[in-house]
Structure 1
């Protein structure tokens, strides 16, 4: 398996590295030359000599090869080491040690940007060039102790090439780890989104099949019977009454089918067998209170009108489930927080439902969210199914609020409450 190539430096970054290395190397060459005036043991050469200028040019060339780091840092490492060997052969002097600086920078950049398999192949070769260059330069200076020179040359190569590879490899490994973690997180996110999309698609398909059956088996018959009853009201009152009773029977059958539809799409327990409507929301709130939740209700109902008048069975079920799911989420993610359920049924066009919970109270600590997001997705799907709107999000005080707007099927003629 091939090792992934690490990202190299940009053109601008490689140029900056080359320029900074060249300036630093020339400054170091200048300092060594100045110090050699007072300490001849340093082996420095006076300014302006051919050897001094050749050394300066070599440093510039070594630094210029760092521009190759943008594409191949190991080639830059080998080039800087080879140039130091050329200098040791042509103009050996005490200034040779300055050429170690560009090699050291090149080794660091190679460990930082190149794959380990390439570094493992090129670093020993570059170290060998540095060792040979040091040995040749020292031999020309008159040092004849071959064993000592060999050990010093190996040490020089280890320090110049091997030492900077350690921090560079550590930094590169940390960067690779972060990149792998980000890729893993992205993959998990994509998988989660795919599961959510699949769940939504399956739920839509189930809803579509069941609603199609309800419409085909009942609603078309109700429409036909209603038109017949309208014609028989004056001419045949008894038949019209029988037709109205049949319409009522078909309507009850629709409600029963809707109850079964909910059973298909949502897991129901033994206490969830009755048809849920907006009128049963107060009972839901009372059950939450008995369970220890701090829930308050604010019912805003127009005069002489039942709660939820003009809203169909699916709309009423969607509103009930929205309140139920919101209270469940509040108890899970903000235990002990105060909740307010607001039902605004005053508009002739839409009913507004809002469930707002405060942040966790007292010393309670908000637990880490463990949900899959299907709850919010389900509430939004129900709202879209009935032509309504749904929104949810954090509040300014750190709490949470869910909002659903449910349209009425009849905008003007609402049934009056029974007297």
Structure 2
């Protein structure tokens, strides 16, 4: 049981118990004071009025128990006070106002404004009628005075507790809105930082391409010269081979440096990403509360992913990762299905499909850079594969990638 659940159970119970004990203590106090006051003869413990009032306040306190019925509990306590005034009016009737007061404060603290106003009006009328009926039964004859007392009782018991409760509730709402705004600003800042990092990495990737192309072009030319000089000019060939070695070391150093800058350093990117790591990725998504189903359709004649090179397996992993991230962003709470079809002897096919977001899954993000789709398409193009994405017939979304196997792993059946 979480802290919130424990709070939801214990707070109403403590409120109800405290209200019942307070009302009974007030009844006992009135009984002690009524020993010397003839007008409070009904207040003596053991009389019918005392027991009926005690039972009524306990039942009123019990209506405060349901944690989800805090606003209707206000009407219930007021209605019980009216029943007490009609069934057994006495000088102890005023004690029944205590549970109504507590219910009014709790309703203003936790209820919605429209519901609180409606139930406060109904409860105030019930309290006023109950006060009028009790006072009239006790011998009151001046109707204007009785009406004034009834209205004043309703205002004090129902209206007055709503003022501090409304102020506290407004402060809570403001504080929650501020926290939400701060969280939104933090998310926006993180998104901008990530976008800037992605742009910087793209620039470094272009630089890596230029450096590699420059050095490799030189190495290719020197290798051609060395091949021609091997028989006729051994010393020149040896110098060319040493220069090739030097250039190779230079490009290796540049590649190590730039790849080190481009490499993600987070714990989630530690290790080599392959088809075998996709189930772990899905388990990580499930731990965040996402409903993700995984299906591997394999061929018994070979190991899963046979003939798919490291770049192809990395592209497959990133495609599933990015698709699940997009589903969580644009369709939060929607179930997802990841399918890896390894039965085709020439292609590995991956499909990630998510259902549309439900009505109670919260607001889906409609903003995005669009770089996720572009990145997946570029990865597929880099390995000679195919990528496609688009909406499904049920307003969901589906991404598809096909990755070709290497030629020496083509396990297709020979044609007849």
TM-score bracket relative to the smaller structure: 0.5 to 0.7
Find the counterpart in structure 2 of residue 90 from structure 1.
Answer: 87
130, 135, 150: which is aligned to 1:153?
Answer: 150
Larger radius of gyration: 1
Cross-structure match for 1:105: 102
Q: 1: CA distance between counterparts of 2:184 and 2:47?
A: 63
Distance in 2 (alpha carbons) for counterparts of 1:152 and 1:230: 114
Within the candidate set 21, 24, 28, 2:22 is matched to 24
Cross-structure match for 2:120: 123
Any unmatched runs of 5+ in structure 1? 1-6, 256-309, 320-419
Call closer, same or farther: CA 1:125–1:17 in 2, change over 3 Å.
same
| Residues 22, 63 of structure 1: 8 Å contact kept | yes
User: Does the alignment pair 1:114 with 2:100?
Assistant: no
* RMSD (Å) for aligned C-alpha atoms: 3.4
Q: Is the Cα–Cα contact under 8 Å of residues 43 and 93 in structure 1 kept in the other structure?
A: no
In structure 1, which of residues 18, 34, 37 is the aligned counterpart of residue 35 of structure 2? 37
1:236, distance to aligned residue in structure 2 (A): 2.0
Q: How many Å apart are 1:23 and its aligned residue? A: 0.8
**Equivalent position of 1:287 in the other structure:** none
1:36/1:114 CA distance change after superposition, 3 Å: same
1:81 to 66, 71, 78: 78
Residue of structure 2 in register with 1:384 after alignment = none
Q: 2:164 pairs with 144, 150, 167, which one?
A: 167
Cα distance in 2 for residues equivalent to 1:149 and 1:43: 22
Residues 42 and 49 of structure 2 are in contact (CA less than 8 Å); yes or no, is this contact kept in structure 1? no
Name the SS for the 2:54 alignment partner.
Answer: helix
**Distance of 1:59 and 1:313 partners within structure 2:** 81
Correspondence 1:66 to 2:64 = yes
CA distance in 2, matches of 1:214, 1:167: 70
Shift of 1:205: 2.0
CA distance in 2, matches of 1:166, 1:130: 18
Residue 396 of structure 2 aligns with which residue? Answer: none
SS at match of 1:10: helix
**Structure 1 match to 2:53:** 55
Q: Distance in 2 between matches of 1:64 and 1:73?
A: 12
Indicate the residue corresponding to 1:134 in structure 2.
131
Superimposed CA distance per residue, residues 113-157 of structure 1 (whole angstroms, 9 cap, x where no aligned partner): 101111111101101111110110000111111111111111111
Q: Deviations over 1:8-64 (max 9, x none)?
A: 961221111111111111111111111111123446432112221111100110000
Matches within 5 A, 1:3-402: 10-42=8-40, 44-68=42-66, 70-222=67-219, 225=222, 228-229=225-226, 232=229, 235-236=232-233, 239-240=236-237, 312=254, 315=257
Say if 1:8 and 1:71, in contact at 8 Å, map to a contact too. Answer: no
CA contact (8 A) 2:82 2:129 kept: yes
CA displacement at 1:244 relative to structure 2: 8.5
Q: Partners in 1 of 2:224 and 2:111 — Cα distance?
A: 81
Contact 2:100–2:158 under 8 Å retained in 1: yes
Per-residue CA shift, 1:210-235, capped at 9, x if unaligned? 31233124334326526854984895
- In the alignment, the residues of structure 2 paired with residue 34 and residue 235 of structure 1 have an alpha-carbon distance, to the nearest angstrom, of 127
- Structure 1, residues 91-114: CA drift from partner, whole Å, max 9, x if none? 000000000110000001101110
Distance 1:206 1:161, change over 3 A: same
Q: Deviations over 1:258-301 (max 9, x none)?
A: xxxxxxxxxxxxxxxxxxxxxxxxxxxxxxxxxxxxxxxxxxxx
Q: Report if aligned partners of 1:222, 1:250 keep a CA contact under 8 Å in 2.
A: yes
Give the SS at the match of 2:64.
helix
Give, in whole Å, the separation in 2 of the partners of 1:78 and 1:8: 26
Q: Please give the alpha-carbon distance, in whole angstroms, between the structure 1 residues aligned to 2:128 and 2:6.
A: 27
Whether the aligned pair in 1 keeps the contact of 2:35 and 2:41 (CA below 8 Å) is no
Q: Distance in 1 between matches of 2:143 and 2:6?
A: 40
- What do the CA deviations read for 1:350-389 (whole angstroms, capped 9, x no partner)? xxxxxxxxxxxxxxxxxxxxxxxxxxxxxxxxxxxxxxxx
State how far apart, in whole Å, the 2-side matches of 1:312 and 1:161 are.
77
- Give how far 1:83 is off: 0.3
Cα drift, residue 158 of structure 1: 0.7
